[in-house]
Structure 1
Amino acid sequence: MITLCTLLKRYAEKYGSLLTLEGSEERNPVLTEISSDSRKIAPVGLFCCIRGENVNGHDFAPSALDRGAAVLLTDHILPLDVPQIVSGNVRRDMGRLADILYGEPSAKLLLLAATGTNGKSTTVWMLRYLLESLGIRTGLFGTILYSDGAHEREADRTTPESWEIQRELAAMVENGCGACVMEASSHGLILDRLEGCRFDGAVFTNLSEEHLDYHGTIEEYFQAKTRLFSSLMKPRWHGAANGDDSWGSRIRSLYPENILSFGLDADSLDIRGEEVTLSIAGSEFCLVTSPKERKIPLFLPLPGRFNVYNALGALVLLGFFFPDRKKELADSMKFMVQVPGRLEKYFFSNGVTVIIDFAHTPTALRNVLGELRTMCSGKLVSLFGHGGERFEPNRPALGRIAASLADRVIITMDNPRREAPQKIAGQILEGVRSEGKPVDVRVILDRKIAVRTALDEAQSGDVVVLSGKGPEKYIVIGEEKIPYSDRGEVLSWAQDTGVTEI
């Protein structure tokens, strides 16, 4: 809790005189909370009037006052008898004020992030796992879940609103966390949801075409990602960037004093992985930190070359902060837990392997199918769809990739939202056919039926890949979230058919 006057004084000390206080200046309430959701505002709270795509938070100011809000953060003076902080950038200042109100929690934590297109969730899970293997309780924000170090809950978006982040960071400090790891999405960066945070370091995984319906061009998408490094770091920060990715190399060149590159192939890498052996059970490789140091061998029980990259990114970043414990960190990798919906693997008694993965971009699907193609002794079955109201050129691209790598393709539904599922499937099917390769392809829009069909037809040695939804527990049709999960359907099928997991 903090008084309004103290809050504004501390803001001015950190950022300058960017805010003005209007109306009822004699009032100096002790503020308890900050929120942009009028339904959740606490008594004597600070309500932030955000202009969103569909609604204008200024319209909900009277409702927030009825629920006990004592102060407004707004971009213009409203005809209401209440102290009003007027800002030229409400989103930015919401995060900054929340940081101060909750005691500047990011300054009390080792705060690390992962950004990029693919691999963020797995890298963040690896970072948390490794930190906790060192005895450091670690909070998490990501696509899969949020954790304050004491409680976990399902995530509703990759990057929450800034006031939610600051509130949860404060809870992490209260719960004894020494660190927090989070996914830094491009939307979260552009919308200032990470404002108020100051990071000790970050991993840049890779960049490929995604969210271009929002950003317009891949250059703008890249610029959104760079905001993490240019605006949100502590003075002496460190980073790790994938040097085998051209965008990662570019980030490295922008911050040569802060960032080390990692990878498997490029000649100019700072730290590399060598002697890589891949199997569906996991990956073996050696970590080479310099020509003068001994190679560190390690086993990662997660399959896929891209998971080697994720592990390298996590290990390189933590190497900055724990330079004397690199071998301990590498050894801990052999006990790495499976990441929900990220190459989540199930081996069944009938010889069929099922992989559940969030891959929903062409690059991610190519990575998953390309890796599994080399590990599959039978047929490779690819089942997927594409989200409605998302980047449409990805749909035929997904179809072409699946046709080029899989023996059987089943096109189904994946959160069509307000688009017709038949239209989305048709665009994917065009891509499959354009590849010009004979492939068994079917459209089964009902995802439950599609999954069961794929599993019923699979034979010993086959690998069935269910991609696009990962750990999600719903399908979005129109405005409705219908309960569903790939994992749940797979386990239900196994129970119904008497097939056991091994």
Structure 2
Amino acid sequence: MRLSELSGCLPFYTIKGPESDPEIMKLCHHHQEVENGSLFAAIKGEQSDGRLYIEKAIENGAAAIISDTEYELPVPQIIVKQPRHALAYLANYFYDYPSFDLNVIGVTGTNGKTTVTHMIHSVLETAGMKTGMIGTLYMKQGNQVRKAVNTTPDSLLLQQTLADYRDAGVKAAVLEASSHGLSQGRMFGCDVDIAVFTNITQDHLDYHETMENYKWAKTLLFSQLGHSHVKSSPKFAVLNNDDPFSKEIESVTSAHILTYGLSSDADIYAENINIQKESASFVLRTPLGHTEVVIKLAGIFNIYNALAAAAVGFVNRISLPEIASGLGQISGVPGRFEIVRHEHPFTVIVDYAHTPDSLKNILQAANRMNPNNLITLIGCGGDRDRAKRPVMAKIACQYADHAIFTSDNPRSEDPKKILRDMEKGVPGDCYTVIEDRKAAISEAISQATPGDIVIIAGKGHEKYQIIQNEKIPFDDKSVAEEILRELQVKGV
């Protein structure tokens, strides 16, 4: 489309430069992706400033620029106060508002987003609703899988992806809405139909600075559901009845509210819960009846995750048998309480737990499996919330028989400094410090005796370790499997 038509979707702007009306074939905000006919959005981000790459973008074929600063350029410039917001407007118009053609479900919370989105995806697909998924692990639709850069994509990539889903005949899209993504406006222009809240605990204070700011970011998903109350397009807020923060969310949304939890006070709740080593079962109670649910995941936190997904199924008028079937088909999510298969007489589990609450949850779940000993390996990320380091160390020592503190993703920080932060306030006889993560995993597994459980926490699905500015290949599960094979060969 022509620049004049595209820019017409913006309520306020100034156009400068040559009096021309180029054909816009592509939108982009990375100069490396610019091709002939592109509109380049020069956005100042946390790590880099897109305005520094305007000349390079023009060299690569940019037909127009959008920026908050005027330059002497050989192509038209759209000048706006907030380029990031403007790009969301432009992306929606360029791709013809794809979210309005889809049943969009956004899931937010500190823990559980990835598992809940997978469960929702399975429930919807089981009911015959072709569904796409966007989140931490990947962007996935059918057999098409794309690597995810952020948990919540920027507004341009999000609209591109939703448009691809719509054009492929997808009817629903379930996505993880991170606090970063919400506060940075990555979901601006996205018409969400169902917003799901899992829980909230301390996390990301390096970015949000205070819990109040962090909570505010989470509420945006619900306050932005809208207030139109259109009969043909109702909006729903699915809230964890057992998390006090749900009351605050209720006060900022005008959407229909459906709660879930472990007591009959909730609209959707579980009773007769039975948690086994690698599975769990419960009776799902809803306003329209009940059904037995069996999931191939352990832990009380996965009961909550299943209830959240069941509530979304209920909102979509999916039958209880189909909801139960969809939940039962999930056999695991990469890096989420994932059991490493091997021949030794002990259990090794890899989990993404990187917050105090998530670590506590997985350790409690492991203890319910009645191990002889629980051995926990944990580290904390560099350039992130320092306050949670001693808290996580304390939790590891409290719930495990022995803890090993190691390096996670140190980034620009000295790993030794991170470990010292973890050690503060923890008795020295409950843990071992091994900075090298592979050596620490080897030690944890070597300590295990029959009937023990080894938890390798913190990185989960990640395939790398960030040291300084470099991503070094490292996969907890693969490292554990290698060590276990070596022990098998040695006959240990």
Q: Which residue of 2 aligns with 1:443?
A: 433
Q: Which residue of 2 aligns with 1:397?
A: 391
* SS of alignment partner, residue 456 of structure 2: strand
C-alpha distance 179-254 of structure 1, shift in aligned 2 (>3 A): same
C-alpha distance 270-294 of structure 1, shift in aligned 2 (>3 A): closer
After TM superposition, the structure 1 stretch with the greater mean CA deviation from structure 2, 386-395 or 445-454, is 445-454
Q: Which residue of 2 aligns with 1:309?
A: 304
Amino acid of the structure 1 residue aligned with 2:454: V
Q: Deviations over 1:353-403 (max 9, x none)?
A: 111111001111011101211213310111010000111010100011011
How many residues end up aligned between the 2 structures?
485
- How far the C-alpha of 1:175 sits from its partner, in A, is 2.5
Structure 2 counterpart of 1:375, from 358, 369, 376: 369
Q: Which residue of 1 aligns with 2:328?
A: 334
1:121-160 equivalences under 5 Å are: 121-160=114-153
For the 8 Å contact 2:54–2:65, the answer to whether it is kept is yes
After TM superposition, the structure 1 stretch with the greater mean CA deviation from structure 2, 245-254 or 463-472, is 245-254
* SS of alignment partner, residue 199 of structure 1: coil
Tell me whether 1:70 sits opposite 2:67 in the alignment.
no
1:466-485 equivalences under 5 Å are: 466-485=456-475
- How far the C-alpha of 1:428 sits from its partner, in A, is 1.3
For the 8 Å contact 2:290–2:320, the answer to whether it is kept is no
- How far the C-alpha of 1:174 sits from its partner, in A, is 2.5
Distance in structure 1 (CA, Å) of the matches to 2:336 and 2:454: 14
- How far the C-alpha of 1:270 sits from its partner, in A, is 2.0
Q: Which residue of 1 aligns with 2:253?
A: 255
For the 8 Å contact 1:199–1:234, the answer to whether it is kept is no
C-alpha distance 289-253 of structure 1, shift in aligned 2 (>3 A): farther
Amino acid of the structure 2 residue aligned with 1:174: D
Distance in structure 2 (CA, Å) of the matches to 1:447 and 1:324: 45
Structure 2 counterpart of 1:46, from 39, 50, 53: 39
Structure 2 counterpart of 1:241, from 236, 239, 242: 239
Structure 1 counterpart of 2:420, from 410, 421, 426: 426
- How far the C-alpha of 1:101 sits from its partner, in A, is 0.8
* SS of alignment partner, residue 293 of structure 2: strand
Q: Which residue of 1 aligns with 2:266?
A: 269
1:78-477 equivalences under 5 Å are: 78-231=71-224, 235=228, 236-255=234-253, 257-265=255-263, 268-290=265-287, 293-321=288-316, 323-433=317-427, 439=430, 441-477=431-467
Distance in structure 1 (CA, Å) of the matches to 2:283 and 2:254: 25
- How far the C-alpha of 1:299 sits from its partner, in A, is 0.6
For the 8 Å contact 2:223–2:254, the answer to whether it is kept is no
C-alpha distance 391-399 of structure 1, shift in aligned 2 (>3 A): same
For the 8 Å contact 1:200–1:234, the answer to whether it is kept is no
Q: Deviations over 1:38-84 (max 9, x none)?
A: 11112201111111234221121111111111111111222112111
After TM superposition, the structure 1 stretch with the greater mean CA deviation from structure 2, 126-135 or 248-257, is 248-257
Q: Which residue of 2 aligns with 1:36?
A: 29
Structure 1 counterpart of 2:476, from 486, 494, 497: 486
For the 8 Å contact 1:205–1:248, the answer to whether it is kept is no
What are structure 2's unaligned runs of at least 5 residues? 229-233
Amino acid of the structure 1 residue aligned with 2:285: V
Q: Deviations over 1:220-275 (max 9, x none)?
A: 1111111112225595211211010011232134436512111114x632221111
Q: Deviations over 1:250-304 (max 9, x none)?
A: 2134436512111114x632221111111221111111113xx432110111111
TM-score (norm 1): 0.93
What are structure 1's unaligned runs of at least 5 residues? none
* SS of alignment partner, residue 375 of structure 1: coil
Amino acid of the structure 2 residue aligned with 1:281: E
Amino acid of the structure 2 residue aligned with 1:36: H
* SS of alignment partner, residue 340 of structure 2: strand
Amino acid of the structure 2 residue aligned with 1:477: I
Amino acid of the structure 2 residue aligned with 1:5: S
- How far the C-alpha of 1:496 sits from its partner, in A, is 2.1
After TM superposition, the structure 1 stretch with the greater mean CA deviation from structure 2, 378-387 or 251-260, is 251-260
Q: Which residue of 1 aligns with 2:231?
A: none
Distance in structure 1 (CA, Å) of the matches to 2:217 and 2:303: 26
Amino acid of the structure 2 residue aligned with 1:171: D
C-alpha distance 131-499 of structure 1, shift in aligned 2 (>3 A): farther
Distance in structure 2 (CA, Å) of the matches to 1:39 and 1:310: 39
Distance in structure 1 (CA, Å) of the matches to 2:107 and 2:489: 38
TM-score (norm 2): 0.94
